[in-house]
Amino acid sequence: MKNVVKLLEEYFGRKVLEDLKKCKNPSLELISRTLSNAYFDEKSGLIKLGSKKEKRSFLSLGQTKKFMQTLLVASQIKKNLEENQPAIGTRQLFYLLKHTIPGTNENTFDDQKKESDPIIEDIEVSLDVLREQLGLFAVPDGYIVGPMVAYDKKTGDILDYTKMGLGGGAIPALVEEEFYQIKEISAKFVLVVEKYQVWQLLNQEKFWDKHNCLLLTGKGQAARSTRRLLARLNREFNLPVYVFTDLDPWGFYIYSVYKQGSIKLAFFSEKAGVPRAKFLGLTTKDIEKYGIQKTNWIKLNQLDYKRIKELKNYPWFKRKEWQEELKRLEKFGYKVESDSLVTKKIEFTANVYLPDKIENQDFLP
């Protein structure tokens, strides 16, 4: 584990101090988080940040405030870590930092989203650590069940995800090693379910028990810690990951965020992506193969068509299989929700569709 306090000291403290001692304009070199510095790395299959750097210096009219803010965020984080404070939320950090500069009417910070949040990201990128390792957390969302035992290092609790009831286990905000140790896993794969309702039905049907897997839902677009937990399961335990979404561009995109990440959070994507994840469905071919009837279909609207076009242009959708699937979807002209499979039979998803797809490894890449 990295000594984060030492890193903060070196990167943000000592560097500035040296500059000052040499009567130089104090400055920091930060990796640029502009969209133009994000790219899809074919080799790793992940969206990454490039190496472009930008200078942030004190004696530069446009940068002075941001320079000060950067040091304030870094020093508050260092203080909290040194004092062994509990982890706090980004809103709470914002308030800890916000104050009027004595003798002026100027506030250090006025806006969390525009000012303190981006600097947290700057620090994560510069030190190559996640904010959770800096004692910060984001609001979680998502549930997991199945044969996994974890140990909460802060509370000493043993969490057995085969014994979490119909509600399942809450995916915590803090799933980094420092907080959350994955102790035992006998599951053979992770099934990620886009929709909560589908997940809940599968949990009631004990799908995870019958198929010896972990059953996870991020309730639509996944929260930060849901993505990180999934990445840890894949990277540390080599568990295959299959993602089950609706047949529509929104479902496809949710899959791609689990797999490659997103341009907007390129740095986090490196840490939280699961490049070997597979798309289990729904696919256009499934509709025919499983005879999903027309009453389950919903006409694609203009927004859907627009989104399909955008997806076609993302480099991580350039693989032949995806270009073809996107074309087939356009041609088909309908979307089909995973919830709708109950029309075949309530137990169809659990007893036919999923086992069949997994057995035949009938996936998109």
Q: Which residues bind a copy of itself (CB under 8 A)?
A: 80, 85-92, 95-96, 98-100, 107, 137, 139-141, 143, 150, 152, 154-155, 157-159, 163-174, 179-180, 195-197, 200-201, 204-205, 219, 294-296, 337, 339-340, 342-343, 346
Q: Taking the complex as a whole, how short is the minimal distance between the CB of residue 63 and a copy of itself, in angstroms?
A: 23
Q: Which is nearer to a copy of itself, 260 or 340 (CB)?
A: 340
CB distance 261 to 225 below 8 Å: no
| Six token digits for residue 211 | 């198929």
Q: Taking the complex as a whole, how short is the minimal distance between the CB of residue 209 and a copy of itself, in angstroms?
A: 10
| Six token digits for residue 314 | 């993302």
Residue reference for tokens 């689990």: 258
As annotated, the active-site residues are 95
Write the DSSP assignment of 211-246 as a string of letters. TTEEEEE-SSSPPHHHHHHHHHHHHHH---EEEE--
Q: Taking the complex as a whole, how short is the minimal distance between the CB of residue 165 and a copy of itself, in angstroms?
A: 3
Q: Taking the complex as a whole, how short is the minimal distance between the CB of residue 38 and a copy of itself, in angstroms?
A: 28
Q: Which is nearer to a copy of itself, 181 or 186 (CB)?
A: 181
Residue 175's identity, in one-letter code, is V
Q: Taking the complex as a whole, how short is the minimal distance between the CB of residue 220 and a copy of itself, in angstroms?
A: 10
For residue 146, give the 3-state DSSP assignment.
Answer: coil
User: CA-CA distances (angstroms) from residue 170 to 19, 62, 102, 205, 218?
Assistant: 47, 44, 44, 19, 11
Q: Which is nearer to a copy of itself, 112 or 260 (CB)?
A: 112
Q: Which is nearer to a copy of itself, 16 or 341 (CB)?
A: 341
| Six token digits for residue 235 | 């990277």
- By CB atoms closer than 10 A (0-12, 13-18, 19+), residue 47 is buried
For residue 30, give the 3-state DSSP assignment.
Answer: strand
